[in-house]
């Protein structure tokens, strides 16, 4: 595998770097410099800046508003944005339901939804998991009953990340309760302003209102919002989850966390010298970097397949498993390096330096990485069945 960049790609990298340095507004740049937390409004501000540049959805095809970048350029763009600590855009519209609509949606749906996903005029969230249907997603019970030109939706979704900010939710619903679990599920798009929808945020273990419970009480949804065939939602969901699991590989996020560990180690003193000079700590950081580099190589293989127009397949489960584990390990190391300062939930003036803002909160929240997007145990079953042919 040739890992060198062409002169054109090198020039593109320089252009991305220059644009990011110039385009980040001062208040966002100040947070980026300390790896701070970006609020929803700040994320959407950056979304619109990238939209005006044409880079908000680098993986979308030109005919649907994408910039026409090749896989290597898309990789470079993502890497440079991570290196700049720019706000991470919400994936639910751009990287999940958008690609699903491009692949499975009809022309009317594509015309209606894709432009507003790109512009940020409509924000999306995901309605998959339920209180008794998480890793075993096919056990979901939210039902959609036919009623003339509409479906009537009743049920509950949970872990609907940032639903309190969203305009629309894409949902898996049961349309044929008599069919076997996977066969009776459909993929619906639901306007969260529809009467009967209730969204209630709740605190994560990290102390942040990232998640919501979402209820549907006789919610009327037009049948024109059905994506793909009736009872064919499992196929759409599998394709969408392939994109989500590739995202959960979090190669850029892990790299950012490793850089955070290095900064903490450089700024924390032990026995009169920086922790970064302690051989044991240097070895722990080095081991994490080696594992991160291996994950990067696996991600590049997936990118090479994407260059050949291949959608993410079961190999995305490998990226999900390893990425989830390394994300947790990186923040475990950050907590260890902080010592007693890690007991602070969020940054407090005079207690925790700004560079270590919210590490404890992120550490707690990211315990979920090995669960969401399909638990790591489920991913191992997928690898055994579809790659190793063991089942």
Residues designated as active site:
244
Q: Rounding to the nearest 10 degrees, give the CA dihedral for residues 364, 367, 372, 374.
A: -170
Angle of CA points 25, 28, 33, to nearest 5°: 120
- Token duo for residue 316: 């995305």
Report yes or no: 306 and 299 within 8 Å, Cβ to Cβ.
Answer: no
Report yes or no: 207 and 364 within 8 Å, Cβ to Cβ.
Answer: yes
Helix ranges (DSSP H) in 308-353: 315-338
Give the separation between CA 292 and CA 264, rounded to whole angstroms.
19
- Residue 125's Cβ-side half-sphere holds a number of Cα atoms within 13 Å equal to 23
- Residue 221's Cβ-side half-sphere holds a number of Cα atoms within 13 Å equal to 33
Give the separation between CA 55 and CA 28, rounded to whole angstroms.
18
Run of H or E including 214: strand 211-222
* CA-based nearest residue to 255, from 290, 303, 281, 306: 290
3-state secondary structure (DSSP) of residue 27: helix
Tell me the DSSP string of 225-283: GEESSTTBHHHHHHHHHHHHHHHHT-HHHHHHHHHHHHHHHHH-EETTEEGGGSHHHHH
Give the separation between CA 87 and CA 50, rounded to whole angstroms.
11
- Residue 150's Cβ-side half-sphere holds a number of Cα atoms within 13 Å equal to 9
- Altogether, the residues listed in the chain come to a count of 391
């Amino acid at each position: 595998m040739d890992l060198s960049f062409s002169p054109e790609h090198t020039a593109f990298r320089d252009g991305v770097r220059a644009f990011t340095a110039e385009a980040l507004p001062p208040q966002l740049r100040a947070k980026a410099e300390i790896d701070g937390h970006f609020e929803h409004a700040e994320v959407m501000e950056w979304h619109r800046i990238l939209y005006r540049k044409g880079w908000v959805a680098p993986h979308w095809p030109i005919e649907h508003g994408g910039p026409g970048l090749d896989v290597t350029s898309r990789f470079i763009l993502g890497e440079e944005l991570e290196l700049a600590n720019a706000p991470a855009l919400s994936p639910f519209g751009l990287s999940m339901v958008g690609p699903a609509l491009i692949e499975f949606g009809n022309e009317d749906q594509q015309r209606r939804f894709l432009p507003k996903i790109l512009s940020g005029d409509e924000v999306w969230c995901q309605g998959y998991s339920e209180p008794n249907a998480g890793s075993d997603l096919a056990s979901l019970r939210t039902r959609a009953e036919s009623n003339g030109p509409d479906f009537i939706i009743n049920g509950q979704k949970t872990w609907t990340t940032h639903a309190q900010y969203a305009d629309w939710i894409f949902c898996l619903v049961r349309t044929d309760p008599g069919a076997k679990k996977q066969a009776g599920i459909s993929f619906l798009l639901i306007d969260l302003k529809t009467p009967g929808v209730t969204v209630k945020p709740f605190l994560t273990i990290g102390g942040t209102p990232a998640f919501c419970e979402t209820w549907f009480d006789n919610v009327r949804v037009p049948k024109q919002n059905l994506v793909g065939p009736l009872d064919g939602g499992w196929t759409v969901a599998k394709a969408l989850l392939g994109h989500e699991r590739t995202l959960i590989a979090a190669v850029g996020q892990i790299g950012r966390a490793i850089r955070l560990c290095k900064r903490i180690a450089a700024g924390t003193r032990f026995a009169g010298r920086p922790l970064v000079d302690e051989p044991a700590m240097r070895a722990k950081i080095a081991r994490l970097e080696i594992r991160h580099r291996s994950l990067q190589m696996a991600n590049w293989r997936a990118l090479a397949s994407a260059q050949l127009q291949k959608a993410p397949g079961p190999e995305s489960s490998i990226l999900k498993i390893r990425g989830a584990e390394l994300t947790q390990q990186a923040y475990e190391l950050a907590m260890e390096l902080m010592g007693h300062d890690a007991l602070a939930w969020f940054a407090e003036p005079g207690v925790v330096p700004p560079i270590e803002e919210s590490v404890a909160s992120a550490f707690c929240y990211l315990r979920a990485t090995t669960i969401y997007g399909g638990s790591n145990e489920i991913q191992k079953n997928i690898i055994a069945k579809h790659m190793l042919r063991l089942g």
